[in-house]
Structure 1
Amino acid sequence: MTRLLLVLTGLSWLLFLSYTPATAQLQTPYILNGAATQRTCNCYVLTEDQLTSSGTVWNKNKVSLNNSFDYFFDVNLGCKDQDGADGIGFILQTQGTNLGATGQGVGFQNIRPSLGVIIDTWQNTDDGDPYYDHVSVQINGDISHSSANNLAGPVTALANSDNIEDCNWHIFRIKWDAVTKQLTVSIDDSIRLSIQKDLVADVFSGDPMVYWGFGAATGGFSNKQQFCAALRPELQFDNNQLFCDGSPIVFADDSRSFGTITRWRWDFGDGSTSALADPPPHQYPRPGKYQVKLVIEDNSGCISDTMKQDLTISSYPIPDFSYDSLCTDRAITIKDNTQVDFGTITQWNWDLGNGTTDQSSTPAANYTSTGTYTIQLQVMTAEGCGADTAKTANVYPTPAIAATGENVCIGEPIAFSGTDITPAIPLSGWYWNFGNGQLQTGQHADYIYPEGGDYRTGVHAVSNKGCFSDTVYVPVTVTDINLFAGNDTLIARGQPLQLNAVTTGNNLQFSWTPDIGLTDPYAPAPVAMLTRDQTYHLTVTSPQGCIALDTVNVKVYAGPDFYVPSAFSPNNDGLNDVFRAISPGVSQLDFFCVWNRWGQELFRTQSLSGTWDGTYKGQPMPAGSYVWMISGKDYLGRAFSRQGTVTIVR
């Protein structure tokens, strides 16, 4: 065997991996019972996902409780939470290697004398089980938590979860201190239970030699339940380790194994390897990303899975930063422009030169006095690689301004003017924003607003060093009376006409001219009584002195009556294209209809403004005569009608 091992050290790692497992299968130190099967060199299935099944795996060789031990195992309780059962147990007993129990007994029930560390995944209320997956320490095959044989627990199997049936492998550690008589149970590096008891005297009647092993069972519900004699390759680094270009990397072995680790195989990801437990410091040839691998073998000949860990060897960063003009009393964001080829910047330490520091990537600097300041930046990568730089920055004064404007009537320009309050600071430009999306430059600006309303015009100035003043706002009002005297209209002679001016604004003055037939020429809505055609001119004046003008034309007919033409020419030339009735004094139209000579109705409307375009269902009617009839009520409510013929001329 020694010669073969010497040869193996010179062979490829593949040969090392392929040699030992077959030997380990033949040298298994365990006896399997029931449903238990060997899955790999160091791993065993206690129960498949089948109902009413049990399996035990016992080490052939007894151990002495007069000696301390620290056992590491990997356990997997299956993937089914709500309907998974029943659990597994680590068991110490003196009776032999063909024992076990099904269902809620978890392979432990009725074995006497015994000690079991039970991970229970099913709530059996008759045993006092809590609802969560739990771990307990019990003796003499008694699974009841209300019994004196329940030495510790139950507590949740996992420190931060009620469920351990999560498809994952968990580290199950059993530590016995023979001197202090202390038994400690940990799962995933979290201590779950600890008891102090003389197991030899109090449990095994003075016999220190015991068998150890695992049992598991299912009943009306099931899970695939497994354990492995732990063989976990792991590495660790010193807390002060730097992963920087040119720094030697110290790899320390932190592997967990049930047995004694006999061989190590390191692959550092750059073509270099080592077979030592703690290899000498390794220096990578260049910065970059590497994948470190570690495989271990124990004294039973079992070889672990390959541990893979990504490792970044950081290059040293090249710190740099930039900023806009530094101006007094202005918060300026400084932008980090640091570059690093490999690695991640995680720390920034700024000294802004004004007595303040900052640890953000983009600090905000604020300087109250002009002058020259030294800004310093120190950066650090997550891998511990640092560098620093410094720049001298000038802080310039910030200008101050004032501004004026005026209220105007619609259509008039507003004269805006800016005033430099700090003439000792040279300015390079003025910038106006008129509050409606329109902009202008210059210290003075004239602007005509296209619509009335209240506006908040802003202006700021910029110094020749790039420092911006505060924005000064000038509120202005543009008055727009928005006058509409009314539509031109027609009435019957003697018919009252209600005029109604529509405006915008308050406290307006109205003047209708001439005042012929008006009840009040200074009211916004006077009544007119006319015997002939009349044009009214309306003048409206605002309190600000703004004036608006509009006119309304009134056509006076004898009536009430319907005036209907005798012919029209619907040829789309813009002249007499439609047939309509003029209806002075008519307040309601009952109908206006047109028929052809066969009595077919071609057109009907109840609108006083309704017109016929000489078509029927979209088709032009031929030239000729058509009969019409119209009926309605006058403004006094009296009904009357007219009828006649109209000729289409084409």
Structure 2
Amino acid sequence: LTATRESYINNPVFTWKYNGVTVGTGNPYNLPGGLTAATAGKYTCTVTEGTLTSEEAVVNVMFTDPPAPTIDGKLHYCLNEQFEQITINGTDPKWYYIPSGGSPLPVAPTINTSSPNSLTYYVTQTVNGCESSERTLVNFTAARKPAVPIVTTPVYYCEEAPADQLYAFGDNLKWYYSPVSTIHTETAPTPNTSKLQSLEYFVTQTVNGCESDRNKIDVVVTFKPNGLILANKKELCANEELTLGYYGSADPTSQYNWILPDKGTTIMNGGFDQGPLVIRLDTPGQFQVKLRVGNTGCLSDEYTQNISVKPLPYANISAKSDACVDQDILIASDNYTKGLRSFDWDFDGGLISHEATGQGAHGVYWATAGTKNIKVTVEDKGCTSVTTETVTVHPKPDATITAQNYKEGDVICASDSLKVSVGVIEPNAAYKWSPERFFDSYSNDAVTYARVDFDSRIYVEVEDIYGCTNKDSMMVTTKPCCEMSFPTAFTPNGDSRNDLFRPITVGNRQVKTFRIVNRYGQAVFETANAHTGWDGTMNGKPADIGTYFYLISFNCGNETINQSGEVILVR
């Protein structure tokens, strides 16, 4: 969308709104994603210059997309069948080879049915000059005789058992009793199970008037096995193994379908024959193990064995998940099976600072960092369980003080800034430097500056995210100094390195004036804040390279110091 402004508006600011909500500025405004149903609606635009804003210009953007047409008629043909045009339920249909893009076909498509064939087309409709963006898929086929219907074979029945009708998956099924007979029925037959025997049935399907070849279903009528389940125990503890077996008339080649408890069952060995089958039951309660045996497809009755699983005693471990080297934590069991009297603890090398009986709480600490596996073993009514909990023991954070260009025994100027930090900075750790008077408002930074006014020891305390603490100190020796240090050259090239000319060490001195002049005596920079520094420009333009002269006046103690020198500007 493009807005046109009056020619007298020199600095226009355009504001676009969609349905009353600001959506963009600038001119023109591009609809996000192009023109769609989601971007259609009322758009307004105003132009602002200074404090004046125009009335809104309004445009309503409309989007029309008719639905794809529907079709009626025959799409699928047998070989050599006469083709019939389908009916398009829509206005001004257009045919395409592809689902989007491309050019429409000049005539409605057909299919040659003299050989197997499949053709895919797409059709649209046009309403009020708008062609539907969606296209209806039209798939013509000319096929050979359909495949045989899908059947399950062989089908097994027990002798004298009621039989169900046979079943096949297909269209317009026809059933035969021989592979060549022309007599058929459309009702699925029901086999006779009055005696042991084998039977054959045949079935076809008809698709679009074409009948398939015949598919055979074998039916077997056989005897029903009997038996029972053998178990080495009928009562056990949770997580204990149970051995099962079968005794009965079925032989080892029969099919054995073991039905095990749904909850907490793990097969340890076997499970596909008459046994032995070894399982583990993890969930307490009353359960049933069931077995059904198949003899050539004839299933036995369902055999059942009742099993009682006793619960394991429970004792949790309550402890912090994170600890520090040489720091006590409390370990206890505060949720356990009622009546437990014996708790056998293993603290994985932990040292006991104060000991309690039974469930605790026990005071434990570790001298080394790492992952510690705490265990407690309890026993109740012949069943034993072990609970494990992990504690991660973290080393103390590094609190070793390091100072830039300084070590204990060196001497610095009183009130000079000393950059200090710890050896290894811990992410998200808390730092506390003292005495606070030396650190202004930066006593909580990992890397900071100390302004030491007299001989003193500085301290740091570190606490990491796990609550582990450490501390260190450093002696800083000072002397009075009334001279500022300056670089001999600087390079104001915008690389953020040596871009400003200013005192290297300012300390706590109050600068009265800091002035820089060129070789002609012209002042190119002047300030009362030595931290600001000269950026190498004169009247907003880069100054010439060469030698410049500085003069600085500052208070040091109770006297005023005047200092001068030279600096070379290099680019």
**TM-score, structure 2 as length reference:** 0.35
Return the structure number with greater relative CO, CA threshold 8 A, min gap 6.
Answer: 1
Structure with the greater alpha carbon radius of gyration: 1
Where is the helix percentage greater, Structure 1 or Structure 2?
1
